[in-house]
Structure 1
Amino acid sequence: MDYAEFYYSQVVGLYPFDTDDCRIQTDKVMQHLVDAGISESDILRFIEESPPKDCLTPDDLPEWLWEESLLKKNTFYYHNTLHLRPPAPTFNPHSREVKASKFYLEMKIKYTMDDLIRYFYHTLRISTDLADKKKDEGSFNYLLNKYSKLDFCEPIDFVLALIDYNKPDNNPMSPVQGILDIAQSQAEVYDALKRKAAEASLHKANQILWR
């Protein structure tokens, strides 16, 4: 479905401009939602609840899109699993042309507790047969609350960095048997992530870049 066309036909009434600039801007917002995995029903709800404007921007995205997500609106995250980036460049062997999209760095919208639990078991190569959803949720909520006072990153960034630090390839002697075990590496992760955040702030590399 052409969501931008749906917005202009159903909410605005018509597209009132001679150029496609506003349509392109609105379409970028819609493509962000599609790439972020937002369901068609929620995209249509967003469109129907939006005011008639020349064009829609990321500021128009409603807070309810982040419900039940561990992420927040207009917040930069460092971990690449929380990023949306353009597809890799493609090469046409016949024309010998390289086609590349303009760079952007957007944040995902939906990243749930289930996503975090799956990431833990997959990354640390622990069988999901050992999962206990209720206990796992409690453990992660404890860690997220514990690291919520950090002033250089979001708690979900710190927890994901803890998981990565304890990858078998990175830390073959890791004693991780359960979720709370990853906190044993908090001192090392604290130093590394704080340096990363400081460097990113210095080079203004901790900003959302919209498509």
Structure 2
Amino acid sequence: MDYAEFYYSQVVGLYPFDTDDCREQTDKVMKHLIDAGVSESDILRFIEESPPKDCLTPDDLPEWLWEGSLLKRNTFYYHNTLHIRPKAPTFNPLSKVEEVNQFYLEMKINYKMDDLINYFYETLRISKDLADKRKDEGSFNYLLNKYGRLDFCEAIDFVLALIDHNKPTNNQFPAVQNILDITQAQAEVYDLLKRRAADASLDKANTIHWR
């Protein structure tokens, strides 16, 4: 579905310009919502609730899009699973030209507790047959609250980094048997992530870049 076209036809009434600049800007917002994990029903709700404007920008996104998500609006996250990036460059064998997409670095919107729990089991190669959703949610909520006091990164970044640090290599048997076991690496992860955050701040690499 062409969401930008839907916006101009149903909300604005018509596209009022001779150039496609505004349409392209609105389309970028719609593509961001798709890549950020927002459902079609919520995208349509956003469109229908938006005022008629020349074009929509990220500033027009409503707060309710983040309801139920572990992520916050206008917040930079370090973990790559929370990033939205352009596709890798591709080589066209016919034209012999490498096609490179314009750089952008955006953050996901929809990342819920189920996503975090799945990431834990998949990354640490633990059978999901052993999952206890109620217990797992309680454990992760405890960790997110505990690491919410950190001032150099978001709690979800720290928890994801803990999971990664405990990832088994090759055919190694996982040392982690339950969620709270990942905190055994918190000292190492604290040093690594704090150093990474300091370097990113120095290089101004902790900034959201919209497409």
With the shorter chain as reference, the TM-score category is over 0.9
- Please state if 1:108 is matched with 2:100: no
Percent of residue pairs bearing the same amino acid type? 81
- The equivalent of 2:187 in structure 1 is 187
Unaligned stretches of 5+ in structure 1? none
1:79 and 1:200 map into 2 onto residues whose CA distance is 13
Q: Structure 1 102/28 Cα, relative in aligned 2: closer, same or farther at 3 Å? A: same
The number of residues matched between the two structures is 210
Unaligned stretches of 5+ in structure 2? none
Distance apart, 1:169 and its partner CA: 1.7
Runs of 4+ residues deviating >6 angstroms:
none
2:83 and 2:125 map into 1 onto residues whose CA distance is 23
- The equivalent of 1:95 in structure 2 is 95
Q: Which amino acid aligns with 2:137?
A: E
1:118 and 1:37 map into 2 onto residues whose CA distance is 16
Secondary structure of the corresponding residue to residue 88 of structure 1: coil
Distance apart, 1:118 and its partner CA: 0.5
- The equivalent of 1:71 in structure 2 is 71
Q: State the TM-score, normalizing by the size of structure 2.
A: 0.96
C-alpha offsets along residues 84-117 of structure 1, whole Å, 9 cap, x if unaligned? 0001111111111111110110001111100000
Distance apart, 1:174 and its partner CA: 6.3
Q: State the TM-score, normalizing by the size of structure 1.
A: 0.96
- The equivalent of 2:168 in structure 1 is 168
Q: Which amino acid aligns with 1:123?
A: T
- The equivalent of 2:2 in structure 1 is 2
CA contact (8 A) 2:125 2:174 kept: no
- The equivalent of 1:50 in structure 2 is 50
Q: Which amino acid aligns with 1:14?
A: L
Which shifted more, 151-160 or 30-39?
Answer: 30-39
C-alpha offsets along residues 170-205 of structure 1, whole Å, 9 cap, x if unaligned? 9x5863110001011111000000000000000010
Distance apart, 1:37 and its partner CA: 2.2
Secondary structure of the corresponding residue to residue 91 of structure 1: strand
Q: Which amino acid aligns with 2:208?
A: I
1:106 and 1:124 map into 2 onto residues whose CA distance is 26
1:41 and 1:128 map into 2 onto residues whose CA distance is 30
Which shifted more, 161-170 or 49-58?
Answer: 161-170
